[in-house]
Amino acid sequence: MIPVKTIEWIGELDGVARLIDQTLLPNELRYLDVRDVEAMWEAIKMLRVRGAPAIGIAAAMGMVLAVRDCAPSCRDAFVAAVDRAAAYLNSARPTAVNLSWATRRMQSFVVNHLALPIEDLKQLMLAEAKQMVQEDNAVCQAIGRLGEPLIRDGDSWLTHCNAGGLATAQWGTATAPIYMAHAAGKRVHVFADETRPLLQGARLTAWELQQVGVPVTVITDNMAATVMAQGKVQGVIVGADRVAANGDFANKIGTLGVAILAKEFGIPFYVAAPTSSIDMQLASGHLIPIEERRPEEVSEGFGRRTAPLGVRIYNPAFDVTPHRYITAIITERGIVRAPFSEGLRALFEHSPSLR
Ligand code: MRU
């Protein structure tokens, strides 16, 4: 069984971006048809679509939605609308670099094709956004192929948050090696950290692994140390929202704790990330902007108050794990090990893109 499609474009230029509304999972699998850029911004902000690669694709489609009704007469107005849409969509979430990577790619695409009639350019922008979906599938499958041999028959691997198919177009980054090991007949079991406060691990990772038939056990975040101490975990694999040039990376809040635990217990800790999540402009992880979200996600998530009214709440959505905790970064272009600065630089200098 293959994972469900998280996001796709339906129809022609006058069509819709169709995405799974992830806020409703695991109770309901409902698709949302997004018809304008404001609705796409809201979907990204509210985590209806989430996960670094998926919000990049969503933003690219959002740019098409933003300009498809622009008058064909004025080139300058069209470019201004493209730039406005990029800035607007980038403002939805700051940490995952895939969002600005995708909007910048669309902006460059427009600039490089400005000689064309505006109506043709709109069609080509849509083709470019659709192309991102195809590329994402190829990239995730390449990560899967490279990561699969790291998993042994009978292993249990732990993951945090959701870097699965739901966080990409379809295959996931951290889940791709697991899906491939499972498809190859290896017995692989996954511990999914629940992932407070929004429960992406329990709601999303457990759901999608179950759909595909991979055995999965949900634990609360504070149980990770215990399952590791009990010798029940042979590997940890997580995704990344942004990897800095020295290998430090941002991922869902709680990832840092898991990485420290893995080191303590001598368990390999892998980061599965496409090169579109690597930000070579940032020297180290402390420069990564960290999104802070509404206090209510902590104090009354899912409709029930769990902290006293009026109490102070701190809700950073991501943390930064220093590269010293990472065994390897699995990208679509190869596996990078320490020293990460050199390895990541070489990745961008020597490897052909999968485009
Ligand atoms: O806030 P979210 O749910 O968008 O956070 C997602 C994560 O932290 C993922 O691990 C990350 O985006 C990698 S997705 C392949």
Picking from 141, 163, 190, the residue at the C-terminal end of a domain is 141
Last residue of a domain, one of 109, 141, 173: 141
User: What is the atom index within ligand 1 of the atom nearest the CA of 252?
Assistant: 8
The answer to whether the annotation marks 93 as part of a ligand binding site is yes
Question: Hey, what amino acid is at 127?
Answer: A
Starting at the edge strand found earlier in the chain, the sheet holding 16-20 runs 7-10, 16-20, 31-34
Residue 239 CA to ligand 1 center (angstroms) comes to 7
pLDDT band at 2 (very low <50, low <70, confident <90, very high): confident
Indicate if the pLDDT at residue 355 is higher than 70. no
- According to DSSP, the β-strands at 249-252 and 318-321 are antiparallel
Mutate to test the pocket of ligand 1, among 23, 100, 162, 256 (most ligand atoms within 8 A of CB): 162
Radius of gyration of the chain (CA): 20
Let me know whether 169 and 312 are in one domain: yes
Give the residue numbers annotated as catalytic, written as ranges. 241
Q: Is residue 200 a known part of a binding site?
A: yes
Q: Which of 6, 95, 175, 251 to mutate to test the pocket of ligand 1 (most atoms within 8 A of CB)?
A: 251
> For residue 80, what is the domain's CATH number?
1.20.120.420
Task: Examine residue 1 and state whether it is found in any structural domain, yes or no.
Answer: no
Please name which of 126, 4, 121, 143 lies closest in space to residue 57, comparing C-alpha atoms.
Answer: 126
Q: How far, in Å, from the CA of 277 to the mean position of ligand 1? A: 11
Distances (CA, A) of 16 to 65, 81, 119, 218, 317: 8, 19, 18, 35, 29
Q: What mean pLDDT is predicted for residues 118-135?
A: 97
DSSP letter for 11, please.
S
pLDDT of 353 strictly over 70: no
The answer to whether 200 and 122 are in contact (CB under 8 A) is no
Q: Which domain holds residue 70?
A: 7-141
Length of the chain: 355
pLDDT the model gives residue 350: 77
pLDDT in tens, 268-290: 999 999 999 999 999 999 999 99
Choose which residue among 101, 252, 297, 330 to substitute to test ligand 1 binding: the one with the highest number of ligand atoms within 8 A of its C-beta. Answer: 252
Element (H, E) at 334: strand 334-336
Q: What is the average pLDDT value for the chain, to the nearest integer?
A: 96
Q: Is residue 167 part of a domain?
A: yes
Domain assignment present for residue 169? The answer is yes
Q: Give the residue from 96, 116, 141 where a domain finishes.
A: 141
**Is pLDDT at 352 greater than 80 in this prediction?**
no
Any domain includes 154: yes
Q: How far is the CA of 55 from the centre of ligand 1 (A)?
A: 9
Which helix (H) or strand (E) element contains residue 7?
A: strand 7-10
Integer Cα distance of 23 and 39 in angstroms? 15
Query: Pairing between strand 269-272 and 235-238?
Result: parallel
162 Cα to the center of ligand 1, angstroms: 6
Q: Which helix (H) or strand (E) holds 159?
A: strand 156-159
- Ligand 1: atom nearest CA of 272 is 15
The pair of three-digit structure tokens given for residue 322, joined into one six-digit string: 């220093």
> So what's the pLDDT on residue 240?
98
Pocket of ligand 1 (CB under 6 A): 47, 50-53, 96, 161, 163, 167-168, 173, 200, 239-241, 251-252, 317
Q: Are residues 310 and 168 in the same domain?
A: yes
Ligand 1 centroid to Cα of residue 167, in Å, is 6
Considering the domain architecture, whether residues 109 and 191 belong to the same structural domain is answered as no
Query: What is the tens place of the pLDDT at every residue in 71-114?
Result: 878 889 999 999 999 999 999 999 999 999 999 999 999 999 99
Q: Is residue 269 a part of any domain in this protein?
A: yes
User: What pLDDT band is residue 49 in, cutting at 50, 70 and 90?
Assistant: very high
Neighbours of 80 (CB within 10 A): 12
Task: Find where tokens 């990376």 sit.
Answer: 249
- End-to-end alpha-carbon separation of the chain, Å? 26
**Residue 96 DSSP code:** -
| H-state helical runs in the chain | 37-45, 52-67, 75-90, 97-112, 118-147, 175-183, 200, 206-212, 224-229, 255-264, 296-299, 340-350
Residues 6+ apart with CB under 8 A from 286: 248, 320
The response to whether 176 counts as a known ligand-binding position is: no
232 and 343 both lie in a single domain: yes
* pTM, 2 dp: 0.96
